[in-house]
Structure 1
Amino acid sequence: MSGHVDDELHPSTTEGYKVGEKKSVAEYADLDKEDESLARWKASLGIGAAAATGSIGEPGDTRTVVILELALIVEGRPDVVINLQEDGALARLQNTPFIIKEGVSFRMRAKFRVQHEVISGLRYLQLVKRKGITVDKAEEMMGSYGPNTHEKPFYEKLFAEEEAPSGLLSRGTYNALSRFMDDDKNEHLSFRWIFEIKKSWD
């Protein structure tokens, strides 16, 4: 975990927006049953199925969002997949750099599970530094999700395409801090990782 050393990495806020009152899955399922638009919203989150069948999750696991896997996707190359359920996965991210070829277009993909309650406004935050200086700060809105069920055991989110910097001055090692947070400012995962921009993939 980050220990909140980088206090500049927080979700953006929208003036006048207020986070709604937290409700259980059962309360959402019973809410305004005659409201068609609300019924469609609840169906899109799978709330009816979760209330009827019960959400899935590991017994005794109190987490509401479990990030299962992260992947780096570059067209024409095999995906680089990090299974975050493996022991030591986060430590390896911090100590073993990703190699990214300069100027290449890439995307990230997150695979995750939601359990116990509805998550509103899940987002991915990223802060990148080089030699202690912030060079990039990004925020990717992932959306709102109801608890997963046996019929839909996980969600996947493909992030917006990015382009690696290019040129001699851009090559080198970068340090990144990533967080998954929601509208209630709950932090579901925070980790540090490193990557290298190189002239080639070798």
Structure 2
Amino acid sequence: MTSTNEMPISKTKSVKQNRLKILDPASLKTLIDQQAVALIDVREPAEHAGEKIPGSILVPLSSFDPTKVPTRSGQPTVLYCRTGNRSAQAAQKLFASGVSEVTHLEGGLSAWVKMGYPTQVNKTAPISLMRQVQIAAGSLVVIGTVLGAFVSPWFLILSGFVGSGLVFAGISDTCALGMLIAKMPWNQRV
């Protein structure tokens, strides 16, 4: 059970430097097998409902409240998401609340699955958030293009707007459309 890396977090306000510990999938698997970890999934409810690491507790980043992160005495709390980006953002919120040490899963659920470790899969869960975003964005582009060709060229602005949003999402790793879709009722099932 070892951390593979520690990353100092810049702009800390306390004298003690905050550290983001990174745990590899094999070390997390060992901790889970020993029942020696509190595992927190910071993805959205629909993602958690679709596939999760067994025993994980959902505390979505979109409504992340550091006081709602359960801790177990003497056990590390490990955050995870799909790739590690959102769990690092959740860690920042924990640091801002006064927690000085946070651990997250390196590579997230994707790395866990790649290693062949077990997940709980719910075949009746909503389709993935990424697929929903692709369907919505693609539909808006097609609608804007068709209306631009047959009704008024001004409708092409819709296609350009959606394309610009996708470029921004790719650069910033923040998708406004994804955050909006995540709040839809069908994605709130747990």
TM-score, shorter chain, exceeding 0.5: no
Which protein has the bigger helix share? 2
Tell me the TM-score normalized by structure 1: 0.25
Task: Please give the TM-score of this superposition, normalised by the length of structure 2.
Answer: 0.26
